[in-house]
Amino acid sequence: MEKNTENIEKIMSKSYNLFEIINDKKDSDSWGDRALDIARDIHEIKKENSLAIRGIKEITRSELKDEGMKLKEIVNILFEAMKREIKESKKDIRLFFSTECNFYTSKHYYLMSMFRNLIMNSIDAIPESKQGGHISIDHSMDREKHVFEISDNGEGLDEDGLNHVFSPGFSTKINYDTGEVNRGLGLSIVKKIVEEEFGGEVSVSSVYGEGTVFRIVIPKAYIEGDKL
């Protein structure tokens, strides 16, 4: 959200510069490209904000605690919300969580959004025809770091998919009747949250036809308590 505020300020600056150029009737050949660039930036911010807001609203029908939450509280809310998503998908999928410790965080909104996007990605990756689908979120500690592994036994990614999985707009699931892209933007948001809000790292490994594992490593100092 804060990052998008910065982006909005940049767009406002671009818009004012374009106004001055048009007002002075300079570089008329560039007006169209400049206007298109501004529109593209606004569209990207709108998509990111819409996805983030929708994700939080869909996770819980009641408001999350403003002051922060324990990990197990987050997991419990997420588990119930994702069970509803799985039921609506009409897929045979079981969801598993394991946590090594129950730490407190004031960044629960970001954590919830991160997990939701990854789980939704896994739900989309498991075909309707598959029996015994499973999605697991496993939490462990590695010295001064929290490690989260989100794994599924879905379709997996080929080499090209692995190289572009975090790119905005990347998708392997398209509804050809409606043109709707069902996955892709959420993963670029996950990467931004992990790196910019948690100072962490996210990586992915996958075997095409067998499944995918996302590994997230976050320093304790950036996720525990109320540190910013």
- Residue-level pLDDT at 228: 42
Q: Summarize the confidence of residues 206-225 as an average pLDDT.
A: 94
Q: Which of 2, 140, 127 is nearest to 71 (CA)?
A: 140
pLDDT at 177 over 80: no
CA torsion, ordered 201, 172, 3, 46, to nearest 10 deg: -170
- Residue-level pLDDT at 29: 67
Question: What residues contact residue 139 under an 8 Å CB cut-off, 6+ apart?
Answer: 71, 97, 98, 99, 100, 101, 146, 147, 148
Question: Does the model's pTM come out above 0.75?
Answer: no
- Residue-level pLDDT at 225: 75
Q: Which of 214, 206, 213 is nearest to 189 (CA)?
A: 214
| Per-domain residue ranges of the chain | 2-55, 64-223
pLDDT at 142 over 80: yes
The pair of three-digit structure tokens given for residue 64, joined into one six-digit string: 């999350």
Bridging pattern class, strands 104-105 and 133-142: unpaired
Q: What is the pLDDT of residues 26-52, one digit of tens each?
A: 666 666 666 666 666 665 666 566 555
Pick one of 3.30.565.10, 3.40.50.2300, 3.40.50.720, 3.60.20.10 as the CATH number of 64-223: 3.30.565.10
Q: What is the pLDDT of residues 57-112, one digit of tens each?
A: 555 544 455 678 999 999 999 999 999 999 999 999 999 999 999 999 999 989 99
